[in-house]
Structure 1
């Protein structure tokens, strides 16, 4: 490819903090890193969160490539890849200075991108940023801009739901669902496209219906029973599926999606408590996405006071389960908390731990990046089960959306694996009022 056909991508800081390997994802095209980005990365090098990891990892990568040409023409990233260069901060172009303050780092990045585009007018120059406002500013001055799309899910409307309704099923097959051994060979059910492992079904005949799941290993369609767990009984088919996946000892990774009030977290916790004897500990965690993009240090009080608003929804679900129990079982739940057999903590407190024989529930997983999801799963030791819950259309993270969040990425990449099950819950069960508001408002 001639140099004029190679594009130039100018990277924003948030792209690197999202994926420290991003420079390997642009093929044969060249990359420019503004010096302002390196200055911003300095602020993230210390700490144990994923942002800190990415900042350090990217700095190490640059150091391994460093040479005189890094600031003068660029150095090759690797075989089949383009060059990377660091661009020093020039004086603001008149068009940028007339519209944007020089006090914001974003505007320095914008200025460098704008001037690179002027310098290489015969090439396509594109600013890559996860900041929507910066993309709009770039387009306002005629600079091409786009989101970082390497880990995007292309069509979330067609995302795997984990469930399927099968109409006009032979009544004899449905009858088999209610007679021992409560299953039949999957070959007897004609269905397209082919079923995926642990995919759930509603089988409908003329007069009867049955809930079922596909066992890929045994090539069987098995009946799914509605069973209670720690006083919580599923209220619809999707909750029944979700609880079945959570209780299935052969499934080690589960994701539950759905809007608020569908019972995702409650079902996950109830299932974990039902199977508590099989695990050393039950962990519940959620990422902290600070309000107004401010760190929790801005909140008043000690660390427990700061974290309480973020952890309260998890304790609320625990309270629902305790309320559903008699006095004896209610005391059991309290004892589990006291003995730290049931632990509720921010996700940042869990990072770095070895998860062995643990039932791990990660709530609000839509606020995690794909890399964070991967990091959590790869820490799973022997006998550990992980359940991710969240709503991919309700994201609080400033640089994630329904296409780029870790939960959508997980569903897209893991579907079809024998160790994985997914259920999308659609029916609100919090109350008739809440369901009505969710539908109309």
Structure 2
């Protein structure tokens, strides 16, 4: 396939945060050329040796660029080395990768007087925009303020990195259920129903639910019908009739659902056929409490699993966990206070709350683990609760999911409105990836818990602050 003329292809200048967010991002621009300013390499060099959670991403990106540029001469690195053949597929890159020595720019060529990394990268992009005209030069950064500074300084094209975004807006994120207006049966022209033991299964036309997914819950506004998609093909969908009241009547470890969202979540959590349960929703919607209650029910009462492993992502954990005293579990305790708080709620009516918690933690074999030390493990026949997963990237989540061996159930919970990472947004969070990528997987279920049940104070704050 002949290479397009340079004037028709664009020149993309990448900021450091793009390569920290997705280490192989420079391979995502197809026929267009990619420029990495020297300042970006210096920032990656500093970060790769730090204790930050993105240090590994920096190392991966550096190695990947070195693989492309290994045999290039200094002149070729400036002019650009072809990316053709680095990856396969229709979207494989055919442009060039080059390094721009922005540290050699004179003060007259720089726009900003203050010598900061962001300023140097913007100056490099502005210089290339001038010397490469009329070719389009685009600065790509996830830093909103940097985009504003670049536009204010005269950069014509400034973009966020959207190649990795599965959805354009978080409001379009798959919720795990579909609610019909009015009565469900009014929308159904024909149905075939059959009984399998105590269960009733309805077979309806695919036209009624053209966008349905496996394990998606189906509700109606009349609160008379509740079902879950069991099977579907091009023509038909099979719905397992749950029964609204029966669904609301489920309980685990003394906890009963307070709304239909929690009822659907509890059903998915207690279903042994579902290996991955994703719980999203605002603070106070019951994600952690439901996950822990279901885990205790299945480990202690039903003996379906051997242990409970609790882990979470904390942006600063890599730097601060080493300074805390004690074992790994004791070091992790401050970060996993949400779990111990939930344990207290589950046993608040016991005569000796502390004694009950100690007994249950030993009986259920609850282990607190750092997400940093999950790599390389193989977890068998356990329930893994991954809390605050909105702060993880897709690659970090993949690392954890691929640790789950035979008979292991993974519960991921998170609030996309509370992202602490500097390199993630709601649409690029690994949790968003998980929801969208696994919605067609028969072994997973996703529930968006809508409504704060923690307290009227928390509910008012969620709605008005």
TM-score by length of 2: 0.83
2:296 to 241, 251, 273: 273
Corresponding residue number in structure 1 for 2:104: 90
8 Å contact 1:252–1:386 — kept in the other structure? Answer: yes
Relative to structure 1, the CA distance from residue 383 to residue 329 in structure 2 (aligned partners, 3 Å threshold; closer, same or farther) is farther
Which residue of the partner structure matches residue 277 of structure 2? Answer: 254
Write the distance in 1 (CA, Å) between the matches of 2:370 and 2:183. 47
How far apart, in 2, do the equivalents of 1:280 and 1:44 lie? 39
Residue in structure 2 matched with residue 129 of structure 1 by the alignment: 141
Instruction: Measure the CA separation in 1 of the matches of 2:323 and 2:403.
Output: 33
* Gap change, CA 1:328 and 1:295, over 3 Å in 2: closer
Q: The residue matched to 1:261 in structure 2 has which SS?
A: coil
> Are residues 266 and 15 of structure 1, via their aligned partners in 2, closer, same or farther at CA, if it must alter by over 3 Å?
same
Conserved? CA contact 2:269–2:277, under 8 Å: yes
Q: What corresponds to 2:261 in structure 1?
A: 238
Question: Of 77, 81, 101, which residue of structure 2 is paired with 1:71?
Answer: 77
Equivalent position of 1:197 in the other structure = 214
Q: Which residue of 2 aligns with 1:185?
A: 202
Q: How does 1:19-418 map to 2 (within 5 A)?
A: 19-46=22-49, 51-66=54-69, 67-68=72-73, 69-79=75-85, 80-88=93-101, 89-94=103-108, 96-97=110-111, 99-102=112-115, 104-143=116-155, 144-152=157-165, 153-166=167-180, 167-170=182-185, 181-187=198-204, 191-203=208-220, 209-216=224-231, 219-223=238-242, 225=247, 226-276=249-299, 277-290=303-316, 296-297=319-320, 302=325, 309-323=334-348, 326=350, 333-338=357-362, 341-418=365-442
1:177 Cα offset (Å): 11
From 10, 13, 27, give the equivalent of 1:10: 13
Q: CA deviation at 1:300?
A: 7.9
Give the drift of 1:82: 0.5
State the 1:398 CA deviation: 1.4
Q: Relative to structure 2, which stretch is displaced further, 212-221 or 152-161? A: 212-221
Partners of 2:262 and 2:106 in 1: CA distance: 57
Q: CA 1:338/1:139 → structure 2, altered by over 3 Å: closer, same or farther?
A: same
Q: CA deviation at 1:77?
A: 1.1
Q: Distance in 1 between matches of 2:50 and 2:110?
A: 34
How far did residue 201 of structure 1 move?
A: 2.1
Structure 1 residue matching 2:448: 3-state secondary structure: strand
Native 8 Å contact 2:217 2:229 kept in 1: yes
Residues 267-286 of structure 1 deviation map (CA, whole Å, 9 limit, x = unaligned):
11111111112223211211
Partner of 1:426: 450
Which moved further from structure 2: 47-56 or 135-144?
47-56
Q: CA deviation at 1:330?
A: 7.8
Where does the alignment leave 5 or more consecutive residues of structure 1 unmatched? none
Cα 1:347/1:70, change in 2 over 3 Å = farther
Structure 1 distance, partners of 2:341, 2:261, is 22
TM-aligned CA deviation for residue 409 of structure 1: 1.7
Contact 1:258/1:426 (CA < 8 Å) preserved in 2?
yes
Matched-pair contact (CA < 8 Å) for 1:211–1:237 = no
Supply the distance in 1 between the matched residues of 2:196 and 2:395 (Cα, whole angstroms). Answer: 45
Q: Aligned partners of 1:329 and 1:196: how far apart in 2? A: 42
Change (3 A) 1:15 1:318: same
> Are the equivalent residues in 1 in contact too, given 2:286–2:454 (CA < 8 A)?
yes
**Larger displacement relative to structure 2 (411-420 or 350-359):** 350-359
The Cα offsets for residues 19-43 of structure 1, whole Å up to 9 and x where unpaired, read as: 1111111101111111122222222
For structure 2, list consecutive stretches of 5 or more residues without a partner in the other structure.
86-92
Distance of aligned partners of 1:437 and 1:17 in 2 relative to their CA distance in 1, 3 Å threshold: closer
Aligned-residue Cα RMSD (Å) equals 3.2
What is the TM-score with the length of structure 1 in the denominator?
Answer: 0.88
- Distance (whole Å) between structure 1 residues aligned to residue 37 and residue 310 of structure 2: 40
How big is each residue's C-alpha offset from its partner over 1:325-371, in whole Å with a ceiling of 9 and x where there is no partner? x4699856523534782122332233332222221111111111122
Give the superposition deviation at 1:49: 7.2
